Amino acid sequence: MNPLFQPLLKQSFKSSGVYLLIIALVLAISATTALKFSNEQIQNAVALQAAEMLAADLVLSDNQPLEKKWQDQANQFALQQSKVTTFSSMAHTHEQFVMVNVKAIDDAFPLRGDIRVVPTADKIQAGQVWLSARALDLLHVKVGDTVNIADASFKVTAQIEHDSNQELGFSGFSPTVIIAQADVARTHAIQVGSRVEYRLLMAGTAGQTKQFEQNFKLQQGQGAGAETPNANEQSSLRLRNASEGNTRLMKPIANLDTFLQLTNILTILLCGIAIALTSQRYVQQNQDYIALMRCIGATKAQILNAYLALLSVVLMVAMAIGSLAGVSLGYGLLQLMLQLIPHLQIQFSVLDLLLGPLPIAMLTSAVVLLGFIVPSLWQLLNTPPIRVIRQQEKTVQSMLWMLLMGTASLVLFSIVLTENIVLTTWVMGAIILLCTVLYMLIWGWLKLIKSLKISISAYVRAPYQTAFQITALALGLSLITVLAVLRTDLLERWQQQLPEGTPNQFVYGLPPFDMPVFKAQLEQQGWQSTPLYPNIRGRLVAKNDQPFAEQLLKSNNSLRRELNLTQTTEYPTDNKIVQGSAALKQVGDVSVEVKTAEELGIKIGDRLTFSLPEGLVHAKVINLRSVEWESFSPNFFFIFAPKTMDENAGSYLGSFYVPEQDKKQLVAVIQQFSNTVFIDVSLILDEVKRLVNVLVQIITILALLVSVSGILVLIACLNLLMDERKREVALLRSFGSSKQKLKQMMSLEIGFIGFVAGVVSCLFAEVISAIASYKMNLAIQAHGEIWLILPILMTLLCALIGRYRLSYLCDIPPLQSLREINQ
């Protein structure tokens, strides 16, 4: 055994530096373990929440009966299965006739979520029908009555209270009725030309569903390579996952995913700061000891081996404590979320935690520690023996090497933990660049102040060290601020997406001759509505009089189907012109949704040709628009100038809001316009609001937890900053300085550092939050409140700490104070 190891171990554990180092490592291991594991569980839980609206993880659908090979392949990947058939038909009694959306299910439905009916029933039997509340009202029936659907008679056995399968789109016609899959044939409702969709619902683990998706895409890709005359029939086959089936949930879930990854990055950075500062404190405490060992003949190899052995002990102790703390914190965090968010489906698995995030967190902490401490150890190994009697300042070169190696290790493992190279590169790159630029500016500014020999110059000791302390303090504070700022921005965005009065009813297929009467009815009832847009079906067939390329026809769905086209001078309120002229002035002008334009290579000035029932229509592209497809309002890929098309060739559509207390009046309006389809999206809206509420609570909990970690790091940073001033206070006491004067000096100096750190942290927070907002498609905005709060808060906090943190040194003899410097 190395003869230096035992003395070094005993000496190190007598000082505070090694304990601070262990605490920093424990914090890094436990925090990154718990957050990484929690984030994975939250992502899975939210994915299940979204899957409930699809009633499955995957849905394979077609307007033709599905081939048996897809069921066989689902069995091959051990996926649960359920068959569903949906179609529109006429439900009627002797007096009432209502167009309904029929959903035929089997006993396995739903695979995700549940169906709640009154009276309670587990399965629907042949000959039975379950009706939504609106269907009951429109048909004037109750439980126990008989209802006919097409040619078949059914007994009403329950009212649908909640159906987790709430899909978004015009296929989800309301009112809805549910029958058994075995009863579809006897209705005789499905005929040639009927609008029908055959679905195969599948559910399983993430790995199983991913394998099926990959297999499906591979087979479809092979089919596309050998295009046949039947290609148009095959094109209706579609595989959707939970996010694709519920487009309005995609952005909130994507934002949550980005927020979770950002919490990982910020946690790693906060822990990295703690490790960096405690490492340097530990190195400073050991400078004299290493110099003394060099004086008595110890070689560099002996010292290096002894310190590596000591660091191994430190790491093992930190890993043991950090593992226990990480498992406990992870379990506690998930239990807290289950208490606060009952809808969340989370399962805690110690094995998943031990085999997943924990080893990564341990390796991360070890590498980050070596990255920050190796350069300083190298400097110590080259410390001359004269260091025993002559103090030497740490060189800028050694600090630079320490920062480069430590930062490289942080960036590497941030990418490993987040698995998001783009976000990590953007955030870490911006932070590194900002830190470098601001450090140089602060250093230069402090050097200037010191050289001016003014009153404040007395409070600037070593400019490069003070600049480093200010930068580190500001970075730690800004990382906490970012999460609070982003949480507020996300809340504002989601509230804007679902404001009070969001349309909860769609009207579709309104005949032109009924439009004025219907509009008058909305005004009479006082129901807020969007404009009623003429809706004409047509196909895009050419650009600049040339057909689209065969490859685009195969890959782009908008070229293979009829589109909903409209003409108006009033754009939907959430549409924004991103390029070109805003006004649709002349007949033949058309506005195009920007992403569709990018996919099809459409530019301003292009001439587009559409095939409509009345013939070909030519239009000139005058602008490109961004569209909020997540809004509950009508939106279109193409909007034409008025009189470009024949409005009487189609129908009208729009959306409106009906308060809960007016639902009975809505039934009368629906009966008045029997040729029009009314779609109730209130249940969908409730599901989306419920999921958004879950996301809000999740990001609030995560922001608070990371903030607690950040506060602990700030306290450690301030304590270390205080430790560096112990020698100065002790020396000034030995020369007779008064206690009051020392307190005033520390208050002003540390308060000054806190003020500068507060200002710098605001800049850090604004830049980092701007990058994260850009990645989340949020509006980039300034946050004036933090510029007012943070500098004042940090000035007061640091001044108070500076005044009272070292006051005990003033009450003890100077000789004893000097002896405590390296303890």
Q: In the predicted model, what is the mean pLDDT of residues 632-653?
A: 86
Least confident of 11-25, 61-75, 110-124: 11-25
pLDDT digits (tens, 9 = 90+) for 497-509: 666 777 888 888 8
Closest CA to 575 of 621, 529, 623: 623
- Which single residue is written with the structure tokens 């609030």? 700
Say whether pLDDT at 373 is over 70: yes
**pLDDT given for residue 621 in this prediction:** 93
pLDDT digits (tens, 9 = 90+) for 272-306: 777 777 777 677 777 777 777 777 777 778 877 88
**pLDDT given for residue 148 in this prediction:** 94
Least confident of 3-12, 487-496, 741-750: 487-496
Please tell me whether the peptide bond between 511 and the residue prior to it is cis, using omega within 30 degrees of 0.
no
Say whether pLDDT at 703 is over 70: no
pLDDT digits (tens, 9 = 90+) for 765-816: 888 888 877 777 777 788 888 898 888 988 888 777 767 766 666 666 666 6
Rg (C-alpha) for the chain, rounded Å, is 34
Cα–Cα dist 217/211, whole Å: 10
pLDDT digits (tens, 9 = 90+) for 167-223: 544 444 467 899 999 999 999 998 876 778 899 999 988 788 889 999 998 887 644
**pLDDT given for residue 675 in this prediction:** 73
Cα–Cα dist 327/343, whole Å: 23
**Three-state DSSP state, 496:** helix
Please give the span between the terminal C-alpha atoms of the chain, in angstroms, as a whole number.
27
Closest CA to 167 of 677, 681, 653: 681
**Three-state DSSP state, 394:** coil
How many CA atoms lie within 13 Å of 75's alpha carbon, on the beta-carbon side?
Answer: 5
**pLDDT given for residue 33 in this prediction:** 77
**What is the secondary structure of 425-460 as a DSSP string?**
HHHHHHHHHHHHHHHHHHHHHHHHHHHHT-GGGGG-
How many CA atoms lie within 13 Å of 46's alpha carbon, on the beta-carbon side?
Answer: 29
**pLDDT given for residue 202 in this prediction:** 93
Are 184 and 149 in contact by the 8 Å Cβ rule? The answer is no
**pLDDT given for residue 230 in this prediction:** 37
Say whether pLDDT at 233 is over 50: no
Higher pLDDT, 311 or 154: 154
Q: How confident is the model at residue 380 (pLDDT cuts 50, 70, 90)?
A: low
| Exposed/middle/buried for residue 352 (C-beta within 10 Å: 0-12, 13-18, 19+) | middle
Say whether pLDDT at 822 is over 60: no
**pLDDT given for residue 479 in this prediction:** 75
**pLDDT given for residue 720 in this prediction:** 64
Say whether pLDDT at 429 is over 90: no
86 phi/psi in degrees, rounded to 5 = -120, 140
pTM higher than 0.85 for the full model? no
Higher pLDDT, 399 or 531: 531
3-state SS record for 722-746:
HHCCHHHHHHHHHCCCCHHHHHHHH
Q: How confident is the model at residue 365 (pLDDT cuts 50, 70, 90)?
A: confident
Cα–Cα dist 48/479, whole Å: 30
**pLDDT given for residue 71 in this prediction:** 93
What b/e readout covers 488-505, taking b as 16+ CB neighbours within 10 angstroms? Answer: ebbeebbeebbeeebbbb
Q: In the predicted model, what is the mean pLDDT of residues 734-760?
A: 77
Share of the chain above pLDDT 90, in %: 13
Share of the chain above pLDDT 70, in %: 76
Cα–Cα dist 712/275, whole Å: 12
Q: In the predicted model, what is the mean pLDDT of residues 17-33?
A: 78
**Three-state DSSP state, 780:** coil
pLDDT digits (tens, 9 = 90+) for 536-570: 888 899 999 888 887 777 777 778 778 889 998 88
**pLDDT given for residue 144 in this prediction:** 92
Q: What residues pair up with 99 in beta bridges, in sequence order?
A: 90
**Three-state DSSP state, 189:** coil
Higher pLDDT, 604 or 696: 604
Q: The tokens of 162 are what?
A: 């909640």
- Which single residue is written with the structure tokens 């050694």? 398
**pLDDT given for residue 223 in this prediction:** 41
Q: How confident is the model at residue 166 (pLDDT cuts 50, 70, 90)?
A: low
Cα–Cα dist 596/430, whole Å: 32
Cα–Cα dist 634/618, whole Å: 24
Say whether pLDDT at 231 is over 50: no
**pLDDT given for residue 249 in this prediction:** 56
Average pLDDT score over the chain: 78
Cα–Cα dist 92/314, whole Å: 78
pLDDT digits (tens, 9 = 90+) for 86-139: 988 888 888 888 888 899 999 999 888 888 899 988 889 999 999 988 889 888
Q: The tokens of 120 are what?
A: 């309670």
**pLDDT given for residue 403 in this prediction:** 67
